[in-house]
Structure 1
Amino acid sequence: MPLATTRRTGLVDQVIGQLREAISQGEWAVGQRIPTEGALAETLGVGRNTVREAVRALAHSGLLEVRQGDGTYVRATSEVSGAIRRLCGSELREVLQVRRGLEVEGARLAATERTEEDLARLRELLDERDRAQHERSLADFVRADTEFHLTVVRCGRNELLTELYRGLTEAITASVAATSEDHLTEHVPIGHHGLLEAIADRDPARAVAEAGGFLDQLLLREGSGSPNPSA
């Protein structure tokens, strides 16, 4: 077992890191039950409460699944794959619907409030996103795409809207992961260059259409019914 005795500082974070590494390295396969809290605590030289907190955090991120009365099982080998497994069906549609409301307004504001520095950052993130798409790197794609959308919202200079959006980062990241895997596999063009151009041209109406149109396509693909394209 690759687990090592932990130091006495930041115990929970250290245990999280060691368990995550063991999972990613295949110490326990997907679907396999991991050792009990007591066994892990003894191996790591920490208390059961520390192990329990670490397991809870990894379950929240989608790597582990705690089954009451049965044990804890490996659900995924990374946070990205865990997000794909965790977010689906009606829950995914709800996240996309909320994203549409926030991102459409964020794009409208960004088109009037953005700075040249904002545009440079958006272009940088799109380059990273396009490169990840070309290389079929899902983790890098999800990171760059999520950061791009957050930056668009931040460009609008509405602090409340930005904080609302930032507070949904985990759900948004999961929705990006859940809706991107097929695109990357099939190399389907899913660029946001039209949105960037609309923001650069200070064209709020076009920015709204670009932001809403992209999410409308995702909503229709997820079978959510007919979104309102004029919103």
Structure 2
Amino acid sequence: MNPVSSLGPLRPSPLVEQATSHLRAQITEGHWSVGTKIPGETTLAKTLGVGRSTVREAVRTLATLGLLQSRQGAGVFVIADHEAEEWPVRLRRAAVADVYEVRMLIEVQAARLAAGRRTDEDLVVLDAALTARRTAGAGADGAFVDADIALHRAVVTAAHNPVLTDLFGEFAPALRQALIDLVELLGLRREDPHHGDAAHQALITAVVAGDAESAARAAQAELEQTLAHLRKA
């Protein structure tokens, strides 16, 4: 089979996305098997009707996805016939307790940083988040978990580290339903609708006071308690 026989000229713009899609199809549909050296930039550019820079960018994208690998002096080779799972997908597939362990590492450091970096605006948000969590205690488990996550997000945001903020944003969706299930399964709010209020108060108090080590300890203690419940569930 001609390795580029199933390719054809592309429509104008967005050319990189189209080129990436066409080259990905060559791999995932078996036209280029694992171990195959793909045609060179010039050949692909001519076949697809685009510039070499467009082909180069498409190849770079597919390399990032784990499908292609450039070998200096040898060319570009197919190294997988399916894409590696994106990070959010991997999180959903991971054991919740494993994800929670990593979340704990993130939040303990975030609490420590937040205590030293929180602004006056952050203090207002943190106070509102704690109040909202308490108010949510009178409602359904889903609303309570959402308010709990919002409080933790406020602490992470107060650390003023965009990488930590983004990481927390990736973990939160993976944990939400699991935490709702955990609350319902173990009946954590049956006797105490405001489950964990004292621990969260201690965390916010330490951050507001600017006590970095107390904030870190409070976050560690609160998250370890939930992790213990997760492991038993």
Which TM class, normalised by the smaller chain length?
0.5 to 0.7
CA contact (8 A) 1:108 1:205 kept: yes
Q: Deviations over 1:57-100 (max 9, x none)?
A: xxxxxxxxxxxxxxxxxxxxxxxxxxxxxx89x81211221110
Q: Deviations over 1:170-198 (max 9, x none)?
A: 11323432333322222164110000000
- Residue 97 of structure 2 contacts residue 227 of structure 2 at CA under 8 Å; is this kept in 1? yes
Match status 1:139 vs 2:142: yes
Q: Which residue of 2 aligns with 1:186?
A: 191
CA contact (8 A) 1:107 1:153 kept: yes
Identity %: 31
2:119 counterpart residue number: 115
Which residue of structure 1 lines up, in the alignment, with residue 211 of structure 2?
203
Give the aligned CA root-mean-square deviation in angstroms: 2.1
- CA distance in 2 between partners of 1:138 and 1:125 (Å): 17
2:166 is the counterpart of 1:163? yes
Match for residue 39 of structure 1? none
C-alpha separation in 2, matches of 1:118 and 1:166 = 18
Paired amino acid for 1:145? D
Q: 2:231 aligns with which of 220, 223, 228?
A: 223
Alpha-carbon contact 1:114-1:155 (below 8 Å) kept? yes
Q: Secondary structure of 2:188's partner?
A: helix
Structure 1 residue 221, shift from structure 2 partner: 2.6
Size of the alignment, in residue pairs? 136
TM-score (norm 1): 0.54
Q: Any conservation in 1 of the 2:99–2:171 contact (CA below 8 Å)?
A: no
1:22-52 deviation line (CA, Å, top 9, x unaligned) = xxxxxxxxxxxxxxxxxxxxxxxxxxxxxxx
Equivalent residue runs for 1:70-109 within 5 Å:
91-109=95-113
Within the alignment, does 1:212 sit opposite 2:217 as a pair?
Answer: no
| CA distance, structure 2, for counterparts of residue 152 and residue 107 of structure 1 | 6
Q: Secondary structure at the match of 2:213?
A: helix
Note the residue ranges of structure 1 that are not aligned, 5 or more in a row: 1-86, 225-231
Cα distance in 2 for residues equivalent to 1:213 and 1:178:
21
Q: Secondary structure at the match of 1:163?
A: helix
Counterpart-to-counterpart distance in 1, 2:183 and 2:129: 16
Residues 150 and 165 in structure 1, CA contact (< 8 A), matched pair in contact too:
yes
Distance apart, 1:131 and its partner CA:
1.5
**Alignment check: 8 A CA contact 2:133 2:144 kept:** yes
Larger radius of gyration: 2
Asked if the contact 2:136/2:143 (under 8 Å) is kept, the reply is yes
